[in-house]
Every structure is written in C-alpha cells, then in structure tokens.
A and B are shown apart, each in its own frame.
Chain A
Amino acid sequence: MRASDLIGRDVVRADGTAVGVVTDLRCVQDGPVRGAHASLRIDALLVSRHHVGSLLGYDRRKRQGPWLIRVIVRYLHRHMQVVPWADVVSEGPPVRLRG
C-alpha cells in the first residue's frame, strides 16, 4: 500500500456515518530498527472535512503566517480530528473505524 492510497480517502464509522477525508498520516519513529534508525510507524490519521489548504500546514502550526491565511485555513479545518491507527478496522476504501 502507498501513502497516496490512504491520503484523500474517505473515512466512515462502523455504522457508515461519514467522518471526513484523510489529509495526512502522522508517523512516530519508534518502530523496529531499519538500517541505522527506528522505522517510521503510522500512528494516526489526520481526518478533516476538507482537503483544501491542508498541505500548507496552517491546520497544524499555531503561529504560521500570514495571519489571514492561517485564520481561513484553520477555520476550514476546525473539525480536524487525529484518529489513532488502532481505531482503523479496514483501510478500505473507505477507511472504516471501530465504534
């Protein structure tokens, strides 16, 4: 599976209700050693209602400027959720969450 298979994919709960769309994959470098370093483990999905502007990082960095763009993008992504990978039942499409 590629990262791009998951990014942009719809996310739904077990009962079929829509949660949003995957805008990014959050990784933690704490996996088994690969080469000289720990592997990057997929820790969570960043799920938002919009894909627009997410790549600019305004939805994650608190003090990134210009302030007007920051305010607009943060407003668009005000419902962004960090969904733990452990809650993913199926990668889909769509990505299905437990509960």
Chain B
Amino acid sequence: MTETSHGRVLDLNMHLLDRQVVDRDGRFVCKVDDVELERGADGAMYVAKILIGPRALGPRFRGRLGVWVRAIAERLSTDPIPTIDFAVVEDIGSAVKLSASLDDLRVAPLEDWVRDHIVSRVPGSRHASE
C-alpha cells in the first residue's frame, strides 16, 4: 500500500480481500470475502461493497471445492448476500475499520436471530458478566 499525490494505491487481492473487518468500537464484524465493483458515471470501475459469507467466498475457490462451498451455502440461504457499503469504510490497514456500529449493520442474520430468540430468554442473559 502506497500513497501518491493522486491518492492511496492498494492492490485488492493483497491488501483488502480476507482482511478482518471491525466496527467503530473495535468489535469483529466479518472478513472481506469479496468486493463488488460498479461502473461509475464516468465509465471507470469503483469498489462499491464488501461481500460477506460463504456464497461470496465460494466462487473464489477454483474447481470442485468452490462448487461445493457455493452449492451448500445456497441451499442454506436464499436471502441476498450480506453486504457492507464502502461508504462506511473508515480505514484500510491490517484490518478494515468501519465508521458504523456492528448493531446497525445486520450482517449476521443467524447470529441476530439466535441472540433475539434464544440467548435473550436464558435467565441472567441480560446481566453483564461479573
């Protein structure tokens, strides 16, 4: 990663993919499994979103392993692939730091469901550990 007079220069595969993503409070959010590119009004391609989960990661594996990972993940969920808009990316270093809170991102629907429907009903779950 280098800085030039035109802006910071980084290589997507080496400096962004597979990096850990943390929220504004330093809590672990996910890993960068892939990124979505979109064409701007000027015709150039820009990084638009971080893609998360096995359905994003699967196609990155070549061959049969990629096909299996993708097929299993697609059977488990038909919801859209969770994403994080690049607008909330604050910094890219050894980790990708966001300006948003994990609670607002809703990137782990299964984890959210378990917390709301199961863990919250466990006696004592609303008390901080002592």
Contacts and interface: CB of A to CB of B under 8 A. Distances in A.
Given A2-B35, A2-B36, A34-B87, A43 B9 contact: yes
A3 B88 contact: no
Contact of A41 (B46, B62, B87, B88): B46
A30 B6 contact: yes
| Main SS at interface, chain B | strand
B51 A2 contact: yes
Given A35-B99, A40-B47, A57-B14, A27 B9 contact: yes
Contact of B11 (A2, A4, A60): A60
Contact of A42 (B13, B37, B59, B87): B37
Most chain A Cβ neighbours within 10 Å, of B36, B45, B47, B89: B45
B99 to A, nearest CB: 7
Q: How large is the interface on B (under 10, 10 to 19, 20 to 34, 35 or more residues)?
A: 20 to 34
A31 B46 CA distance: 7
Given A2-B51, A85-B45, A23 B34 contact: no
Interface residues of A, number: 34
Contact of B34 (A4, A38, A42, A57): A4
Contacts of A43: 9
B89 A35 contact: yes
A46 B7 CA distance: 19
Interface string B25-65: 00000000011111010001111000100001001101000
Nearest to B37: A1
A68 interface: no
A90 interface: no
A28 B8 CA distance: 6
A3 B34 contact: yes
A13 B90 CA distance: 38
Given A2-B34, A25-B12, A34-B85, 15 more contacts: A2-B37, A3-B17, A3-B35, A5-B59, A6-B37, A7-B12, A23-B13, A24-B11, A25-B13, A26-B9, A29-B7, A29-B9, A31-B40, A34-B87, A42-B46
